[in-house]
Amino acid sequence: MTTLTDIEKSARHYRDARECLAAIVAAMNDGIETIKRGNMKRLKKAVAEAAERHDDLKALIEAAPECFVKPRSVVLHGIKLGFQKGKGRIDWDDTDQVVRLIKKHYPEQVDLLIVTRENPAREALAQLTAAELKKLGVSVTEGGDAVFIKPADSAVDKMVDALLRDAVEEVAP
């Protein structure tokens, strides 16, 4: 028969294993931060240079559209470049104004041009009784007891949880 003392002992062993994992993850994160700090200057310089070379290449392509008639794009040194049809987009600042103008100028197309969404209000429905919800075709699932094992999470704990979840999924049949 399992006792609370057995569970307490197992919980202590689990906590110890998590602390070991957390220490490894913390050391990894410290190493990553050290590497970032050591390379940030080089990284920023490389980003600036790549952006500058991108802009130079773009200017050359824009200046020579005749090179991209057929085909409209080419792959050079692993870089696909050329011209393509731009992706159109429509925007508006005031949704209510657009809806009013659609109703005014295109009343026969309101159903097509305006999306109307009706959704049940979950919070309000939660205030109704089970019988009232049943009348509306809403099912109620009672929350039963379920085992949980959950530490007070820190960022390190979240990474440890993810590692544990991946390990458990790999072992599961």
Chain segment 107-139, per-residue pLDDT in tens: 999 999 999 888 898 889 989 888 888 888 888
pTM, two decimal places: 0.47
pLDDT of 157 > 60? The answer is yes
How far, in Å, CA of 85 to CA of 83, rounded? Answer: 7
Q: What are phi and psi of 115, to 5 degrees?
A: -95, 125
Other Cβ atoms within 10 Å of 160 Cβ, number: 23
Contact at 8 Å (CB) between 68 and 61?
yes
Planar angle of CA 132, 136, 142, nearest 5 degrees: 65
Q: For residue range 44-75, what is the model confidence (pLDDT) as tens digits?
A: 999 889 999 999 999 999 999 999 999 999 99
**Domain locations in the chain?**
94-142
